[in-house]
Structure 1
Amino acid sequence: MTTPEPSTRTAARQVRGALARRSGRRAEAWAALWLMAKGYRILGFRLRTRLGEIDLLAQKGRVLAVVEVKSRATLEAALAAVTPEQRDRLRRAGQAAAGARPRLKDLAVRLDLIALAPGRLPRHRPDAWNGA
């Protein structure tokens, strides 16, 4: 058995990466629509901060939701896909985003999860990690 040429491996990796990015953007769009149907106002998509990237930033009342979007087979798998380090980074990024916008600075920052699975409705888990 021979190994593929390096350029073939690189091309295959680029294709997989492009498909994953497209799938991620589609999942984020579905998640945003789901949140809007629940009364949230979407403030941003794929926000880059110096502390990390936020999939969705949404507001409902006095809550600023930093929303992580995961497409997995189950809610449990989606919850497990976000490590404690990622949660810390998301929380810091959300606080930085809130601090950078005067009208958001007094809102409570919360980490939410939207889990998507093929053929199923999105599942929104507010305060997904119970403040952890």
Structure 2
Amino acid sequence: MTRKQAEQRGRQAERIAGWWLRLKGWQILARRARTPLGEVDLVARRGSMIAFVEVKARASNAALDLSIDERRLARVAAAAEILWHDLARPGDDMRIDVMLLAPGRPPRHLTNVWHGG
């Protein structure tokens, strides 16, 4: 797969993940939110919870299991700490989520996956 194809697949996965989250009652606050410490694919709010969501798409479910690692989650968490200050309201809470997408399967939403480390 070329870099351009991977970029297109990633953007499509982010669109699907955004729709999935909206169907579950989330409001999308930001897409591809960039900070000096990293990027967050989607930032979503439901009630007082803000989720910073890493989206991964792979050709198979097995490949998805290898797509997220501590290093990647640490970068998302660092970016979330920066973004939090602009997005949070008093009483809000935050978490790091992952959305995994593979062809022919519904998105898999893993919640609260980062606990520092």
TM range (shorter): 0.7 to 0.9
Structure 2 residue corresponding to 1:88, chosen from 68, 71, 74: 74
User: d(CA) in 1 for partners of 2:64 and 2:49?
Assistant: 22
User: d(CA) in 2 for partners of 1:120 and 1:47?
Assistant: 26
Structure ranking higher in helix proportion: 1
Q: CA RMSD in A?
A: 1.8
User: d(CA) in 2 for partners of 1:19 and 1:78?
Assistant: 17
Amino acid at match of 1:80: L
Higher relative contact order (CA 8 A, sep 6+): 2
Equivalent in the alignment of 1:5 = none
Aligned length: 114
What is the deviation of 1:79? 4.8
TM-score, normalising length: structure 1: 0.78
User: d(CA) in 2 for partners of 1:60 and 1:92?
Assistant: 21
Task: After the TM superposition, list the runs of 4 or more consecutive aligned residues in structure 1 that deviate by more than 2 angstroms.
Answer: 76-80
TM-score, normalising length: structure 2: 0.87
User: d(CA) in 2 for partners of 1:120 and 1:77?
Assistant: 13
Bigger Rg over Cα? 1
Amino acid at match of 1:116: L
Structure 1 residue corresponding to 2:2, chosen from 7, 11, 16: 16
